Amino acid sequence: MQLLAFMTAFATPLFLAALLIWPQARALVWRVMPFAPLPALVLAMLANLPLEAQAEWLILGLHFGLDEVSRLFIVFTALLWCAAGTAARHWMRDDARAASFGVLFAMAQAGNLGLLLAQDALSFYAFFALMSFASYGLVLHMRDAKAQSAARLYIGFVVLGELALFAGLALAASQAGSFLLADLRAAAPSGMAVALLIIGFGVKLGIMPLHFWLPPAHGAAPVPASAVLSGAMIKAGLFGMLTVLPLGSVAYADHGTVLMAAGMVTIFAALLLGVQQDNPKVVLGFSSVSQMGIVALGLGAGLMVPAAWAVILPVLVFLAAHHALAKGALFLGTGAYAAQTGSLSRIAVTLALLIPALVLAGLPASSGGFGKEALKTALAAGSPVWLPWLTVALSLSGIATTLLMARYIALIWRNPPKAPAKMAAEAVLLPFISLAAAALALPVIWPVLAQDMAAPISTAEPGALWPVGSAVLLAAGAATFAHAQHIGPSVFLAQLLAPFNALGARVDSVIAAKRRAARRVGHAVPKLLGETARRWRLGQTAIAGLIALILILEFGAGLLAETPAASPTAPPPAQIFTPDF
């Protein structure tokens, strides 16, 4: 029964891929496609952990299992595939190559879910390869020059990664004398095996200098494929390292140093390359590269100091879920924006896109803010030599991500991707809004979902505002400078001073109007008083009143003069004392 549950989890999308070959079943399959990951999601949510099953009769004997880490990976991976499947159903409705896309989409999904359940090297590698090679068709789907170039680059790195991964797994299995991944970890593979595994998984993770395939592939693939490429499939590289490498038990100082150095370079080099792009999806691809640099810092610290791995592991799993939901929402939101036709609807979608963008950048009290602060705390248990550099890199990574998000928001207005002509404007909105809401609510959901692994996030600080705030100011300054260079300094200065000039002109106009009104009043009042005086004969009355006032004053003065003034009482004369002699 347990084996059936495991096989249903990854066999459901494979079954749908097979049905798409039959033209009469395609309409039904596309309706069911969003629900293909549900068996895996139900298994992850309801199973009692740990759960294991074996298929000794299949090939050399396949082993499947579910633990706390793989359960969490399946939850956010399945949610992302559900959202992407919903978007793909509408995005591909009138596409001439919709059937081929659906077959490859379902096969990549099966590989992605299957590798999260695999417990032996053979099945893990088979699912990993299925996901990687099926994704080649997703990148190539449009068949134009850009897609062909991106697909060639992608398949070249896939072959390189698969060869390194196969060699590393084979070497580790020979040293351990077993194909079980748990035995590979326990046997402490050699430095060469670990290096090959890091290269194989690093290609999928997109760490520099193994990142070249990732941004072009994200830019060329259709929106639903880009969402799972960035949100789910690159996490297979992280999951592979967590599953195969002996993290927490054996120290690999040199490998950890290289991985951390590559991570620090990746965070900021991706910014320098990403802000130069003109395709918003490519910018999101470079953002994924930068975010995986943060993950590499934690992996490198765990390889250097095994004792720190117990606190680093829960944070990396949380960061994987955070990035999957936020980045999936951004890619689907790009498609939702492209499908809008009115200015107001595009403004509304842009405002909604700010939610996952700020979450990804590390806004305080968001999953990005909590995740980075928790990783800083976890890294404090690692190498004290690297700690100051890692802390600075994590703090400045918020600036890098915010600048990339600012570039992305600007580009979706200037150069949005094209949506299918007949697709309803609201077709992609529901999966986009669902993922954005999940990314926003992740800090609240995580303690319930992760349970014992949620402690580092629950006790973390909400994060600082200054990286995001300073990056927003930098982005605003850069946009202002670029606009000034585009239109010319003199025109920009005139535009800058135009509101003040208009305000001054308005004030002058109001003052002039007041002066004219005052002059009119000054001329009108004497005439009005004169006419009123003549009409009421106030001239004679005024003279008589003046005479009466003078007489009253004279009479009063006379009365005051006749009244005697009260004289003060004089003091008695002083007696003069004359002494007697």
| Mean pLDDT, contiguous 10-residue spans, the chain (581 residues) | 89 95 93 96 92 80 92 97 95 92 97 96 96 96 94 96 96 94 93 96 94 94 95 95 94 94 94 93 96 95 94 96 97 94 91 96 94 93 85 92 95 87 85 96 95 92 91 87 79 79 84 81 71 62 69 69 52 46 35
Contact 120, 179 (CB under 8 A): yes
Determine the pLDDT at residue 557: 65
Residue with tokens 């009469």: 24
Provide the β-strand partners of residue 51: 66
Contact 118, 64 (CB under 8 A): yes
Determine the pLDDT at residue 421: 82
- Sequence letter at residue 302: G
- Sequence letter at residue 530: G
Provide the β-strand partners of residue 118: 64
Report the alpha-carbon distance of residue 267 to residue 568 in Å, rounded.
101
**Which tokens hold the place of 456?**
């580092």
Buried b (16+ CB within 10 A) or exposed e, 170-208: ebbbebbebbbbebbbebbbeeebbbbbbbbbbbbbbbb
**Which tokens hold the place of 144?**
């134009």
Determine the pLDDT at residue 555: 72
Report the alpha-carbon distance of residue 407 to residue 409 in Å, rounded.
6
- Sequence letter at residue 257: T
Say if residue 99 is exposed, middle or buried (CB neighbours under 10 Å; 0-12, 13-18, 19+). middle
**Which tokens hold the place of 559?**
């009365």
**Which tokens hold the place of 375?**
């990783």
Buried b (16+ CB within 10 A) or exposed e, 120-140: bbbbbbbbbbbbbbbbbbbbb
Determine the pLDDT at residue 337: 94
Report the alpha-carbon distance of residue 450 to residue 371 in Å, rounded.
14
Report the alpha-carbon distance of residue 376 to residue 379 in Å, rounded.
5
Contact 337, 284 (CB under 8 A): no
**Cβ contacts of 42 within 8 Å, gap of 6 or more:** none
Relative to beta strand 51-55, strand 62-66 is antiparallel
Contact 283, 272 (CB under 8 A): no
Tell me the CA distances in angstroms from 398 to 143, 231, 469, one per residue in order.
36, 19, 10
Tell me the CA distances in angstroms from 227 to 82, 83, 323, 331, 473, one per residue in order.
11, 9, 11, 5, 29
Contact 287, 401 (CB under 8 A): yes
Determine the pLDDT at residue 502: 83
**Cβ contacts of 272 within 8 Å, gap of 6 or more:** none
Report the alpha-carbon distance of residue 14 to residue 8 in Å, rounded.
10
**Cβ contacts of 509 within 8 Å, gap of 6 or more:** none
- Sequence letter at residue 112: N
Determine the pLDDT at residue 112: 97
Contact 430, 329 (CB under 8 A): no
* Alpha carbon 465 to chain centroid, angstroms: 14
